[in-house]
Structure 1
Amino acid sequence: MKFKILRACPEVKPIKLVNGEYEIYALEEITIHPDTQNKVKTGIRMEFNENYFAFINYENDSLQTLAGVVDSDYRGEIIVMLYNFGDKPVTIRKNEKCANITFHAIKHKLMVEIF
């Protein structure tokens, strides 16, 4: 499958394939306080085949993604929504990994509506 990564500005760190997942990086430094969520800008946009969707995921000792499905027709900036369920603030520095992206094929099944 081919897909395009569009960088919004030259300082956006290119994504990197690691163990079957693409790593994406924070465009700017951000601190997420305990029991709060925050958006992490990446400065990238994607284009890929309509028979796929992208899944954004990130987990460590304190952080977890809240939303993660990207449809093939979405053309806006990829923004990672992270929640800090730990008891200390977590800072993600500029160009530090903030998520992984995997691509998944959509396999349609015939659905029949029953009344």
Structure 2
Amino acid sequence: MNLSYNVQLKRLAGNEDIEIPRKMSELASGFDLYAAVTEDLILHPGQRALVPTGIALAMPGGLEAQIRPRSGLAFKHGITCLNTPGTIDADYRGEIKVLLVNLGQEPFTISRNERIAQMVFQIVPEVELTQVDELSETVRGAGGFGHTGTK
């Protein structure tokens, strides 16, 4: 089943030259996001920065946008997103910004209109939390954080 949603995109003033998010292949799930920095931004090893994209969205309820790293930047340069995946809620109308960190060994320069992250849309289910005194038992129980072994 192919679901379709209309998401409105607004290019913010002063960013008319910034590419709008787009998929880089026919079956890609993520839309690449572009840096809307006004001048080159140098991320030194261990440094983080909030990078503007020059866009804002209006999504219907029941959707969220997740901001994720680009695998090529992570592999080649150690550039990744903190707070991954970052969540853009359907009622947020501000500029989308990407929290990047340099985990690499060399300074990395982010230039205007450079692809910096990807945005993937996800369906958010309606969930009702019910407080109870006891939870049902499972074989796993409360085991977590490596309880099934280290390999």
1:21-63 superposed Cα distances (whole Å, 9 cap, x missing partner)? 1111001232111011111111100110110111001141311
Query: Does residue 25 of structure 2 align to residue 2 of structure 1?
Result: no
Using the TM superposition, give the Cα deviation of residue 109 of structure 1 relative to its aligned residue in structure 2, in angstroms. 3.3
Structure with the larger helix share:
2
Q: 1:111 Cα deviation (Å)?
A: 2.2
Which contiguous aligned blocks of 4+ residues in structure 1 show a shift greater than 6 angstroms?
none
Percentage of matched positions with identical amino acids: 27
Unaligned runs of 5+ in 2: 134-151
More strand by share: 1
Letter in 1 for 2:63: Y
Measured on the aligned residues, the alpha-carbon RMSD in Å equals 1.3
Q: What is residue 54 of structure 2 aligned with on the other side?
A: 43
Counterpart position of 2:149: none
Give the 3-state SS of the residue equivalent to 2:61 in structure 1: coil
Alignment-derived partner of residue 130 in structure 2: 112
Say yes or no: does 1:27 pair with 2:36: yes
Q: How many residues align?
A: 115
Structure with larger RCO (C-alpha < 8 A, sep 6+): 1
| CA deviations over 1:75-105 (Å, ceiling 9, x no partner) | 1100100011111111111111011000000
User: Is 1:89 paired with 2:107?
Assistant: yes
Which residue matches 1:66? 82
Unaligned runs of 5+ in 1: none
User: 2-side partners of 1:15 and 1:92: how far apart?
Assistant: 17
2:119 match: 101
Inter-partner Cα distance in structure 2 for 1:32 and 1:52? 32
**2:129 & 2:110 partners in 1: Cα distance?**
43
For 2:120, the aligned partner's letter is: T
Return the offset for 1:108. 2.4
Code of the residue aligned with 1:4 in structure 2: it is: Q
- 2:33 is aligned with 1:15: no
